[in-house]
Chains A and B, each alone.
Chain A
Amino acid sequence: MSEQKVVVKGGLVLKPDGLFALDVAIEGEVITEVSEGLDTFGSRVIDATGCVVSTSFYDTHTHSRYPGDSEAETIETLSEQGLLGGYQYLLAMANTEPTIDSVSIWKAVREELRKAPIEVDQAASITIGRKGERLVDFVSLSEAGVTFFTDDGTGVGSTKLMYEALKMSELLGVTVAQHAQDPYLFEGASMNLGATSVRLGLIGEPEASESTMVARDIELLKATGGRLHVLHVSARESINLIRMARNEGLRISAEVTPHHLLLDDSLLSNFDTSFKVNPPLRSKSTQMAIVASAIRGDFDAIATDHAPHAYHSKQRPFSQASFGMIGLQSAFSACWTAFSEPPASPTAIATDHWSHRAASRIGLEPYELQRLHRLLEMMGPGAARVVGRRIGIEPNAQASIVICDPTARSVGKIEDIASHSTNFPYEGRTLRGSVVGGFIRGKEILREGKLWF
Chain B
Amino acid sequence: MTGLTSNPVPGRRSLTQISDLSDSEIVDLLGRAEIYRKQELGTRRFSDELKDSVVATLFFEGSTRTRLSFTLAAERLGARVIDLAVSASSVSKGESLKDTCDTVSALGADAVVVRHPNEGAPLQIASWTSLAVVNAGDGCHEHPTQALGDLFSLSSAFEGVGNLAAKKIAIVGDILHSRVARSLSALLGRFGSKVVLVGPPDMMVDRPSALGAEFSFDLDEVVGEVDVLYLLRIQRERIQGGYHSSIDSYTRRFQLDQKRYLRMAPKSIVMHPGPVNRGVELAVKLPEERSLISEQVRNGVLMRMAVFSKILATASDDRRSQRGVFGD
Most chain A C-beta atoms within 10 Å of own C-beta, residue among B91, B116, B124, B138 = B124
Q: Which residues of chain A are near B140, meaning CB under 8 Å?
A: 201-202
Q: Which residues of chain A are near B210, meaning CB under 8 Å?
A: 194-196, 198-199
For B139, the closest partner residue in chain A by CB is A201
Q: What is the minimal beta-carbon distance from A194 to any residue of chain B, in angstroms? A: 7
If A199-B182, A201-B119 touch, does A270 touch B94 (CB 8 Å cutoff)? no
For B60, the closest partner residue in chain A by CB is A317
The answer to whether A194 and B96 touch across the interface, beta carbons within 8 angstroms, is no
Q: Which residues of chain B are near A315, meaning CB under 8 Å?
A: 96-98, 124, 128
- Report the Cα distance A271→B125, complex, angstroms: 11
At the interface, yes or no: B272 with Cβ under 8 Å from chain A? no
At the interface, yes or no: B120 with Cβ under 8 Å from chain A? yes
For A273, the closest partner residue in chain B by CB is B124
The answer to whether B207 and A271 touch across the interface, beta carbons within 8 angstroms, is no
- Report the Cα distance A113→B158, complex, angstroms: 71
A 173-199 to B, binary, CB cutoff 8 A, 1 in contact else 0: 000000000000000000001111111
B 62-102 to A, binary, CB cutoff 8 A, 1 in contact else 0: 00000000000000000000000000000100101110000
If A198-B205, A201-B119 touch, does A317 touch B96 (CB 8 Å cutoff)? no
The answer to whether B97 and A201 touch across the interface, beta carbons within 8 angstroms, is no
The answer to whether B207 and A318 touch across the interface, beta carbons within 8 angstroms, is no
Q: What is the minimal beta-carbon distance from B110 to any residue of chain A, in angstroms? A: 23
At the interface, yes or no: B141 with Cβ under 8 Å from chain A? yes
The answer to whether B97 and A204 touch across the interface, beta carbons within 8 angstroms, is no
For chain A, residues 156 to 181, give those with C-beta under 8 angstroms from any C-beta of chain B: none
If A315-B97, A317-B121, A319-B118 touch, does A204 touch B141 (CB 8 Å cutoff)? no
The answer to whether B211 and A318 touch across the interface, beta carbons within 8 angstroms, is no
The answer to whether B116 and A201 touch across the interface, beta carbons within 8 angstroms, is no
Q: Chain A interface residue count: which class?
A: 20 to 34
Q: What is the minimal beta-carbon distance from B210 to any residue of chain A, in angstroms? A: 4
The answer to whether B179 and A201 touch across the interface, beta carbons within 8 angstroms, is yes
Q: What is the minimal beta-carbon distance from B220 to any residue of chain A, in angstroms? A: 25
- Report the Cα distance A273→B98, complex, angstroms: 13
At the interface, yes or no: A320 with Cβ under 8 Å from chain B? yes
At the interface, yes or no: B314 with Cβ under 8 Å from chain A? no
A 257-284 to B, binary, CB cutoff 8 A, 1 in contact else 0: 0000000000000110100000000000
Q: Which residues of chain A are near B141, meaning CB under 8 Å?
A: 200-202
If A193-B206, A204-B206 touch, does A271 touch B123 (CB 8 Å cutoff)? yes
For chain B, residues 174 to 200, give those with C-beta under 8 angstroms from any C-beta of chain A: 177, 179, 182
At the interface, yes or no: A316 with Cβ under 8 Å from chain B? yes
For A268, the closest partner residue in chain B by CB is B120
If A201-B139, A201-B179, A312-B96 touch, does A318 touch B120 (CB 8 Å cutoff)? yes
The answer to whether A201 and B124 touch across the interface, beta carbons within 8 angstroms, is no
Q: What is the minimal beta-carbon distance from B186 to any residue of chain A, in angstroms? A: 8
For A269, the closest partner residue in chain B by CB is B19
Q: What is the minimal beta-carbon distance from B198 to any residue of chain A, in angstroms? A: 16
Q: Which residues of chain B are near A199, meaning CB under 8 Å?
A: 182, 210-211
Q: Which residues of chain A are near B97, meaning CB under 8 Å?
A: 315-317
If A315-B96, A316-B97, A318-B124 touch, does A198 touch B119 (CB 8 Å cutoff)? no
For B175, the closest partner residue in chain A by CB is A198
Q: Which residues of chain A are near B179, meaning CB under 8 Å?
A: 201
The answer to whether A202 and B211 touch across the interface, beta carbons within 8 angstroms, is no
B 199-219 to A, binary, CB cutoff 8 A, 1 in contact else 0: 000000111111100000000
Q: What is the minimal beta-carbon distance from A15 to any residue of chain B, in angstroms? A: 47
The answer to whether A270 and B118 touch across the interface, beta carbons within 8 angstroms, is no
For B117, the closest partner residue in chain A by CB is A317
If A317-B116, A318-B119 touch, does A271 touch B124 (CB 8 Å cutoff)? yes
For B142, the closest partner residue in chain A by CB is A201
The answer to whether A195 and B207 touch across the interface, beta carbons within 8 angstroms, is yes
Q: Which residues of chain B are near A319, meaning CB under 8 Å?
A: 118-119, 139
Q: What is the minimal beta-carbon distance from B134 to any residue of chain A, in angstroms? A: 16
The answer to whether A200 and B119 touch across the interface, beta carbons within 8 angstroms, is yes
If A200-B141, A201-B142, A202-B140 touch, does A318 touch B118 (CB 8 Å cutoff)? yes
Q: What is the minimal beta-carbon distance from A58 to any residue of chain B, in angstroms? A: 36
| Residue positions of B touching A, CB distance < 8 A | 91, 94, 96-98, 116, 118-121, 123-124, 127-128, 138-142, 177, 179, 182, 205-211
Task: Please name 17 further chain A to chain B contacts, defined as beta carbons within 8 Å, in addition to the given A201-B177, A202-B140, sorted by A numbering.
Answer: A195-B207, A195-B209, A196-B210, A197-B206, A198-B208, A199-B182, A201-B119, A201-B142, A201-B182, A312-B96, A312-B98, A315-B96, A317-B118, A317-B120, A317-B124, A318-B124, A319-B118
A sample of 28 inter-chain contacts (CB < 8 A) reads: A194-B207, A198-B208, A199-B210, A200-B119, A200-B120, A201-B138, A201-B139, A201-B141, A201-B179, A202-B119, A202-B120, A202-B140, A204-B206, A270-B127, A271-B119, A271-B123, A273-B124, A315-B97, A315-B98, A316-B97, A317-B118, A317-B119, A317-B120, A318-B118, A318-B124, A319-B118, A319-B119, A319-B139
8 closest cross-chain pairs (CB), A and B: A271-B120, A201-B140, A317-B118, A195-B210, A201-B141, A198-B210, A315-B98, A318-B120
